[in-house]
Structure formats: C-alpha cells, structure tokens
Amino acid sequence: MQNVTDRTSNPFGLRPPFDRSDPGDQAAVFGYGDANADFHVIGDHPGIHGGETTGVPFTETEAGRAVQSVVRDVGFASGPRDAPVFENCVLSYVHMCALPAGRTPTDAEYADLERFFDAELRAINAHVLLPVGAHATDHVLRTYTTQRRRFDLDMASLHARDIRGRGFMVVPIREPAAWADGDRETIVSTLEDLLASDYRQTKGVATTVG
C-alpha cells in the first residue's frame, strides 16, 4: 500500500473556510489518525462527538469517548485518551468546524464543508467507512453508495450492518447516546470479524455490487 502521508492530525493540510468557534476552542477538528488506514470512522460535528478543545475527533464528550473505546477494544488505538495513537484507523467529521455553544450546523453549513470532507475521504481511500449517527450515515449512504433508497434511516436496524457501496463497505454505528443492550458488543464483534476476514476484497466487490 502506498503511504500517502505520515501526518497524524490534518494529514492533508486542510484549512477551514470559516471560524465561528467559541473563544478557546479549535476553529476546526480535522481528520486524525493513520491516513493510510483501511478503516475510516466518520462523525457528525465537534459539538456532538468532541474535540473542540483537544482538536482530536471523538474526545471530550461522552459520545466521543464511547466510540473511541470501541476502536481501542479492537486494537486500532492506544495511548492517551485526548491524543491517541492510531494504527489502520482514521477519524474525521462530516462538518469539521466548531460552532458557538455546540450549535448544530445548518444545512447550508453542512453543504459548505462537504467538499472538504469528500476530498479527505477520497485521499484516505479506506476500505471500510464507519459513519456514526444518523446524519453521518445518511450522508455516507447517499454519497458513496447507490443504496440509500433501500433503507429507512433507522439506526437501530442499520447498526453494525455491512452495506456495499461504490468502492467502499459501509458499516453504520448507532449514536452512542442511543445504544441499547448489546449495541456496543455488536459493533466490536463486527469489527473483529472484519479484521479476521479478507476485507480488502471489498473494494472490488463493492464496486460491482454497489
């Protein structure tokens, strides 16, 4: 596999198109981890999944820490919680910019950042996309598969389910705040099964099936 970059944070040098963050917060929470990874965890925005002060996705908030604990359990992450070391996994957000008081992005603000997220995702070119929550899952299924019309956006039923896309396998993760009994164990088990499989073949298979 070609090494595209060794940088851990903001591996492709993106610059946020605006800064609406609160004083002391990061203007944006960029992609973080192993940019040559096969697994790409995709969150919504820093107000939900964290990183507004650390600059690292999936830190600080309860939801962020829950997702990070899953990737730790399968061996993708080690080291400090707020500055983890990743192998074969990268994290990023559909909307990377921080907003005042954790405000949810508007549709226009999501649209403003779509090209940045898309550029980063395609540069990383992971085999398996792991969108967290309804918004990220909806975006990934609409943009990177032809199968969104087949599914209601019922995250309870989509959780840990593998969906073939256009060159990707998509495995949605239910928002951690909504996890029911067994949800955490199910996504951990799914990832362990993928790691034990020849998941790299999903590139060719997904292109044909999706």
Would the pLDDT of 64 be above 90?
yes
Residue 128's beta-bridge partner residues? Answer: 39, 169
* pLDDT at residue 167, as a whole number: 83
| CATH number reported for the structural domain that contains residue 136 in this entry | 3.40.470.10
pLDDT (0 to 100) of residue 70: 98
The string of pLDDT tens digits covering residues 148-173 is 888 888 999 999 999 988 788 999 99
Question: How far is the C-alpha of 131 from the C-alpha of 12, rounded, in Å?
Answer: 20
- Counted domains in the chain: 1
**Cα–Cα distance between 144 and 154 in angstroms, integer?**
18
Please give the helix or strand (H or E) that residue 68 lies within, else none. Answer: helix 62-73
φ, ψ at 131 (rounded to 5°): -75, 140
Is residue 32 within 8 A of residue 14, CB to CB? The reply is: no
Question: What are the tens digits of pLDDT across the range 178-198?
Answer: 999 999 999 999 999 999 987
User: Where residue 205 falls among pLDDT bands split at 50, 70, 90?
Assistant: very low
The confidence score (pLDDT) of residue 50 equals 96
Instruction: Give the number of other CB atoms < 10 A from CB of residue 124.
Output: 23
Classify residue 50: in a domain, yes or no.
yes
Tell me: pLDDT of 15 over 50.
yes
Does 18 fall in a domain? Answer: no
Q: Is 11 part of a structural domain of the chain?
A: no
Amino acid at 59: T
Q: Which amino acid is at 128?
A: V
User: Which range marks the domain in which residue 50 is found?
Assistant: 32-209
pLDDT in tens, 116-130: 999 999 999 999 999
pTM (whole model) above 0.85 = yes
- The pLDDT confidence band at residue 203, using thresholds 50, 70 and 90, is low
Tell how strand 39-43 and strand 89-93 pair up.
parallel
Instruction: Determine contact, residues 57/49, Cβ cutoff 8 Å.
Output: yes
Q: What number of other Cβ atoms are within 10 A of residue 96's Cβ?
A: 25
